[in-house]
């Protein structure tokens, strides 16, 4: 490698996380927020400066580029490496002030913007294996944005290494940076033809060595309640309060089962993530998740049956449950050909890591891209405790991810 990888990763990552790129689920524009274009345009310029070919920021806010094959890799299939630029709207992402805890000594990490906040190995067990590494956190009042700017920095440092001809033989490599992954729209407009790769890898995973060939299957449910609005002073035997109906509906669901806080591993859930309304009309929004499509359908039936039961008990009200498909477990397609997964596993072993197969209790851009016909497993970035103020990553783990990606590109020339 012709440059200091750790220094390059750190410089990129610290710069990228300071660009506010929150997505917005309530927006109908593409991208959902203009601020995502700030980072996409920055990356566009950097790729051009590195010498990438076919650099294109599409009208659907996806940045694409090509790294040509080396002389010895011309027969290898085209592969793509992907990351998303947006961060979640679940916690503030504006004004990120990253802090590097150099050669971390194992003592609890505190935050200047929130003195009550403490990151320790008791709170985050994986942290105990990172003593001596450079741990990066935010300052306590924002998330860090490692999800997925760690992935963005990894792909960019990998691209620099390949473009500076560091000795890695590889086939044609495509780079792809998407918006709006956090709100499930990252590849809404990306076609396999635009990506122009036989296989792809998302850099959107957690601890070192993790590789994911399975995700949740996902639906969304919207339950609406239409009441009868009457002045409360004259409402006797007349008012039908939509908010009360919504509260009764959610209270009727199993309290200690099928919720995120009571499920783990391969268990699915029903999650109420948003509620709004007044006496006249109220709405509950749920996400439904499971690794098995039949069990996912059962979660929907629970809500639909409860809506029907409550409608029968309250004939003057209007109660409706609408369920919309979001994405499906990419494992149902990847299991037909596990070659990209096997190559990633071998690359990790060659890098000195033991691969860990970790089904994702969530989704990635790869979920829907796999469904569209481009098998796309997910690789580790080193990010931990994402979507909150305790989010952290180490520069050393990100470097291991870059080396894994470089080895993947090399192994495809031998496949």
Q: Which residue of the set 181, 365, 391, 410 is catalytic?
A: 181
What span, in angstroms and rounded, lies between the C-alpha atoms of 220 and 325?
Answer: 6
Q: Among the options 10, 86, 290, 397, which is catalytic?
A: 86
181 is catalytic: yes
* pLDDT tens digits, one per residue of 333-372: 999 999 999 999 999 999 999 999 999 999 999 999 999 9
CA 18 to chain centre: 19
Tell me which DSSP letter residue 68 carries: P
For residue 72, pLDDT over 90 is answered with: no
pLDDT at 34 over 80: yes
CB 234 within 8 A of CB 411: no
At residue 247's C-alpha, the angle toward residues 253 and 220, to 5°, is: 60
Give pLDDT tens digits for 95-149. Answer: 999 999 999 999 999 999 999 999 999 999 999 999 999 999 999 999 999 999 9
What is the percent of the chain with per-residue pLDDT over 90, rounded to a whole number?
95
Q: Does residue 125 contact residue 75 with C-beta atoms inside 8 Å? A: no
| pLDDT 10s digits, 78-95 | 999 999 999 999 999 999
Instruction: Map out the domains of the chain with their CATH numbers.
Output: 5-215+329-411 (3.40.630.10), 217-327 (3.30.70.360)
pLDDT at 168: 85
Answer whether residue 257 shows pLDDT above 80: no
What pTM value is reported for the model?
0.92
Residue 388, helix vs strand vs coil: coil
Supply the DSSP symbol for 77.
P
Closest by CA position to 228, among listed 215, 211, 207, 245: 245
pLDDT score at 167? 82
The answer to whether residue 322 is catalytic is: no
Range 210-217 average pLDDT: 97
Nearest alpha carbon to residue 214 among 34, 399, 375, 411: 375
């Amino acid at each position: 490698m012709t440059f200091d990888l750790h220094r390059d990763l750190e410089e990129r990552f610290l710069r990228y996380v300071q660009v506010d790129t929150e997505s917005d689920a309530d927006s109908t524009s593409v991208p959902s927020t203009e601020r995502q274009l700030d980072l996409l345009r920055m990356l566009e310029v950097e790729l051009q400066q590195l010498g990438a070919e076919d650099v294109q920021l599409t009208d659907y806010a996806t940045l694409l580029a090509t790294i040509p094959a080396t002389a010895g890799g011309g027969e290898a299939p085209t592969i793509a490496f992907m990351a998303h630029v947006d961060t979640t709207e679940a916690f503030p992402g504006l004004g990120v002030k990253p802090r590097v805890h150099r050669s971390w000594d194992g003592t609890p990490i505190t935050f200047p913007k929130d003195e009550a906040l403490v990151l320790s190995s008791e709170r985050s067990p994986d942290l105990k294996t990172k003593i001596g590494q450079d741990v990066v956190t935010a300052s306590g009042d924002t998330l860090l944005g490692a999800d997925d700017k760690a992935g963005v920095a990894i792909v960019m440092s990998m691209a620099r290494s390949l473009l500076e001809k560091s000795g890695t033989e590889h086939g044609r490599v495509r780079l792809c940076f998407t918006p709006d992954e956090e709100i499930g729209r990252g590849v809404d407009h990306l076609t396999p033809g635009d990506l122009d790769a036989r296989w792809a890898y998302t850099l959107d995973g957690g601890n070192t060595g993790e590789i994911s060939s399975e995700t949740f299957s996902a639906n969304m449910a919207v339950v609406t309640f239409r009441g009868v609005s009457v002045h409360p002073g004259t409402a006797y035997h007349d008012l039908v309060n939509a908010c009360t109906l919504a509260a009764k509906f959610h209270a009727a669901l199993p309290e200690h089962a099928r919720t995120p806080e009571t499920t783990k591993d391969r268990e699915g859930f029903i999650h109420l993530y948003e509620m709004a309304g007044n006496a006249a009309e109220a709405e509950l929004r749920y996400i439904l998740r499971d690794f098995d499509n039949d069990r996912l359908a059962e979660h929907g039936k629970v809500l639909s049956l409860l809506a029907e039961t409550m409608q029968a008990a309250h004939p003057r009200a209007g109660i409706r449950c609408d369920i919309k498909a979001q994405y499906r477990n990419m494992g149902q397609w990847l299991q037909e050909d596990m070659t990209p997964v096997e190559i990633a596993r071998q690359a990790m072993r060659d890098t000195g890591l033991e691969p860990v197969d970790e089904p994702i209790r969530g989704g990635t851009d790869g979920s829907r891209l796999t469904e569209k016909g481009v098998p796309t497993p997910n690789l580790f970035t080193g990010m931990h405790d994402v979507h909150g103020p305790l989010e952290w990553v180490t520069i050393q783990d990100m470097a291991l991810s870059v080396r894994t990606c470089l080895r993947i590109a090399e192994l495809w020339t031998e496949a």
